Structure 1
Amino acid sequence: MTVAESTYSGATSSVKTRYQGKRHRLDRPELLAPAGNLEKLKFAIHYGADAVYIGGQKYGLRSNAGNFSFEEMREGVEFANRYGAKVFVATNIYAHNEDIGGLEEYLRNLEEVGISAIIVADPIIIETAARVAPKLEAHLSTQQSTLNWQAVQFWKEEGLPRVVLARETSFEEIAEIKKHVDIEIEAFIHGAMCSSFSGRCVLSNHFTDRDSNRGGCSQSCRWKYDLFVDDMPMYPEGEDQFTMGSKDLCMIEYLPELIDVGVDSFKIEGRMKSIHYVATVVNVYRQAIDSYFEDPENFVLKQEWLDEIFKAANRPLNTGFFLDTPGAEDHIYEPEDKPAPYDFAGVVLEYNEETGIAVVQQRNYFKLGQEVEFVGPGGRFFKQTITQMTDDKGQELDAARHPLQRIHIRTLAPVEPMDMLRKLMIKK
């Protein structure tokens, strides 16, 4: 059984021939990546994202992410412009009365620093942006739970150029929407799913007094719980506790179907995820999209792409609602082994072609004699064993122990700045 077969067991192959409609608006789908901070923004774009979505310090649903100041946004926009990429800002809370103060100034500042679009759910934020910051596009957030073409048509008539569909939307429903409405459609194609409908959860509110729909989600569904029946525990003392989070979404196997059905923007979830996660997932989807458009009739899903996806996976994967309604098997009820047996170990800062020495900034402990992988944009990849390491003073090292330490390593092949170093996790 292949990785794809084991990952997508139960998925039907008939979807591959069902959606051959005319595409709308964009020449090819946009690859939209999350960026929880400025460094992640740069890595996402460097590894192939056409656009990134970030959070500011107000009005977003990830209050615990490394959200951007306006100066950081400006720097991010300047970096994106060098790659021909765009920056979107999530302003997707459901606003209470006390949230409205300062909204006009905030939106004007977003427009002034060069943000291309806001992702928004609340109508008052949409209306305010149109009035005070007309250069900002407004993309309807998935938080609006848009599932049908009439609702999409409504938002088009309100002047929105793009709708981010509810994560519960199927291939059939997307095809029907694109049949009736000429508008850009954005859909999540990879990352964490929510156990509640379109993220409209109140568990966090009740358990921790943190409002999920105002940026405070405590991810209560990922907690461990004791499960009781008639006041009797179902699990003996000492056994793993019950969890109820959903498996993660991965649609890399169905890339041609996503294109054929007319999805204009492929959205990756994960503003709270690591640099390694964001760069790896973006790198794979970038290669797959480009490969498809080079020769659509002979597109082949490569095993190495699947292997890379699993090296960044946080949880078991499935296809969400695209093919059918998820069942009990699509949720996580007990703690599971981490699918990704690799850790992010370092980032290449510079490389000397004459000596073959790379300077790597340490991000995780690694040591002499350990096998590592170097990964770069476009599928550049090789393995090697570390046989010698020194610090900036030329002193021999047996391990890279200190965070952000500069480590000099002789590499078996050329590397480039922003290439990543990863290591195989050693189970204790």
Structure 2
Amino acid sequence: MQKLKQKPELLAPAGNLEKLKFAIHYGADAVYIGGKQFGLRSNAGNFTFEEMAEGVAFAKQYNAKVYVATNIIAHNENLAGAADYFKKLYEIGISAVIAADPALIQACKEAAPDLEVHISTQASIANWKTAEFWKNEGSPRVVLAREVSVAEIREMKEKVDIEIEAFIHGAMCISYSGRCVLSNHMTSRDANRGGCAQSCRWKYDLFENGVETDTEVSEEAEELYTMSSQDLSMVEHLPDLIEAGVDSLKIEGRMKSIHYVATVVNVYRTIIDAYFEDPDNYQLKQEWVDEIWKAAQRNLSTAFYYGEPTSKDQLYGKPERLPKYDFAGLVLDYDATTQIATIQQRNNFGVGDDVEFFGPNFHHFKQTITELYDEKGEPLERAKHAMMITKVKVDQPVVYLEMMRKQK
């Protein structure tokens, strides 16, 4: 029998307090969030100190951790208040900060010396000597560059006794480890200080070099070009990263929906637990792969983990049609006697719709809605109003915070 390694941490994104709670409820061991300063997702629902404190208190109920991203590349004007900020994070009970800029790392060490600093992917750590450097600087964990292969990870773990965090799912940046100035050029929004405009995702005409008139060569194309990469997914290869020694398996997506967070966390939680239950006889189940596609926004790729990406890992030409699902409702209660679930509406649904319920521990079932009532028990044809409380006859028992989705 293969010797079991320690289970790696499953680390999930949390763009706001509600997403934090769903990520942990659906199986995350830790979440990473952004505060009002020093983070790279200025458009996410970033946390106030009060919300951080509530998130930490919730996480503790599940023995989970909360990390805060402070991973901007700071300019002079960004340094003010850093010491007080890190001191406050430590007092709240944040388990670690994720940083890349040496000035912010130093500020944290001086103001809150007992607060762990994890070195961000923005530092582009792609070799074992760099990992060793950060270990010698006192950091217990490095978040690897996304351009690193499985073989390189294995070598790092063999040569350096340091925790390694690696991305397993989510969006990939066209620039090296996210260090991009395209957004700055196009929109004057600094991607390295939280203002990325996603310029690589825009559609562009293609022009041929050397032609004086810049003659367009994409006139007949059905779809304009982008510089955009496919999204990362290691759902079919997770044991490779576990066996290479990755300590924290990270999901990207602080700006993604609750449906995305719950779905993706649920799948990877299931895979990790299944692998550790019997690693010698572990087999990937197609239902896990199918579930990931229900949250996919783009085609999926293994990126750099098994060699240099090719054109097949880029989004060229007319995009494939992916299945799209709406988060239709959230289960608040269930009456076993009547088989009626109390559901908070999140998207329009009604009688005759085919829906799917899912929850933690990969509980799934599909049904057609045959009976729908309002909060007072009056029959309804459709739940049209946002956040309205409804009653739905369900085919199987459901529990609090399970979700109902429907295909668009």
User: Partner of 2:217 in structure 1?
Assistant: 234
> Could you tell me which residue of structure 2 aligns to residue 198 of structure 1?
177
Match status 1:305 vs 2:310: no
Unaligned runs of 5+ in 2: none
Residue 331 of structure 1 is matched in structure 2 by 314
Equivalent pair of 2:4/2:276 in contact (CA under 8 Å): no
Q: Deviations over 1:286-337 (max 9, x none)?
A: 0110011111100010111001001111110110101010011110023413
The one of 21, 33, 38 aligned to 1:59: 38
Does structure 2 retain, via aligned residues, the 8 Å contact 1:167–1:198? yes
For 1:52 and 1:66, locate their aligned partners in 2 and report how far apart those are by CA, in whole Å.
Answer: 14
Per the alignment, do residues 155 and 21 of structure 1 end up closer, same or farther by CA in structure 2, a change over 3 Å counting? farther
Q: Which residue is 1:183 aligned to? A: 162
Structure 1: unaligned runs, 5 residues or longer: 1-19
> Residue 210 of structure 1 is aligned with which of 186, 189, 202?
189
Q: Once structures 1 and 2 are overlaid, which stretch shifts more, 247-256 or 28-37?
A: 247-256
Describe the shift of the 1:21–1:327 C-alpha distance in structure 2 as closer, same or farther (beyond 3 A). farther
- CA distance in 2: counterparts of 1:116 and 1:325, whole angstroms: 35
**Are the equivalent residues in 1 in contact too, given 2:299–2:320 (CA < 8 A)?**
no
How far off its partner does 1:145 sit?
Answer: 0.3
Instruction: Give me the whole-angstrom Cα distance separating, in 1, the residues matched to 2:18 and 2:45.
Output: 10
- Corresponding position: 1:293 with 2:276: yes
Identify the residue that residue 264 of structure 1 maps to in structure 2: 247
Per-residue CA deviations over 1:125-151 (Å, capped at 9, x if unaligned) read 111111111231100000000011111
Which of 107, 120, 134 is matched with 1:155 structurally?
134
Q: Give me the whole-angstrom Cα distance separating, in 2, the residues matched to 1:215 and 1:340.
A: 30
- 2:360 paired residue number: 377
- What's 1:80 paired with? 59
Judged with a 3 Å threshold, the aligned counterparts in structure 2 of structure 1 residues 355 and 402 are, in CA distance, closer, same or farther, namely same
Change (3 A) 1:349 1:296: same
Rounded to whole Å, the distance in 1 between the matches of 2:19 and 2:4 is 35
Alignment of 1:424 onto 2:407: yes
Query: Which residue of the partner structure matches residue 164 of structure 1?
Result: 143
2:330 is matched with: 347
In structure 2, distance between residues paired with 1:341 and 1:286: 22
Give me the whole-angstrom Cα distance separating, in 1, the residues matched to 2:17 and 2:371: 32
Q: 1:406 aligned to 2:385? A: no
Q: SS where residue 350 of structure 1 aligns? A: strand
1:226 Cα deviation after fit: 2.1
Cα pair 1:362 1:403 within 8 Å, conserved: yes
Is residue 278 from structure 1 mapped to residue 257 from structure 2 by the alignment? no
Partner of 1:305: helix, strand, or coil?
helix
Q: Does 1:45 align with 2:28?
A: no
Whole-angstrom distance in 1 between the partners of 2:131 and 2:334: 50
The one-letter amino acid of 2:302's match is T
Whether the 8 Å CA contact 1:21–1:262 is kept in 2: the answer is no
Range moving further from structure 2, 352-361 or 338-347: 338-347
2:100 to 121, 128, 142: 121
Q: Secondary structure of 1:42's partner? A: helix
CA pair 197-22 structure 1, distance change in 2 beyond 3 A? farther
How far has the Cα of 1:402 moved from its partner?
Answer: 1.2
SS in 1 for 2:236: helix
Alignment-derived partner of residue 132 in structure 1? 111
1:357, CA displacement in angstroms? 1.0
Instruction: Confirm or deny that 1:368 pairs with 2:347.
Output: no
Secondary structure of 1:205 counterpart: helix
1:107 aligned counterpart, secondary structure? helix
RMSD, matched Cα: 1.5
Q: CA deviation at 1:390?
A: 1.1
Q: Deviations over 1:328-377 (max 9, x none)?
A: 11100234134233221111111122221111111111121011000000
- Per the TM alignment, residue 237 of structure 1 is displaced from its structure 2 partner at its CA by 7.3
Q: Which residue of 2 aligns with 1:320?
A: 303
Count the aligned residue pairs: 403
Q: 1:369 to 1:206 in 2, by over 3 A?
A: same
- Per-residue deviation at 1:198? 0.4
Q: Deviations over 1:207-232 (max 9, x none)?
A: 11100000000100111112233423
For residue 198 of structure 1, give the secondary structure of its aligned residue in structure 2: helix
Aligned residue in 2 for 1:91? 70
Classify the secondary structure of the residue corresponding to 2:237: helix
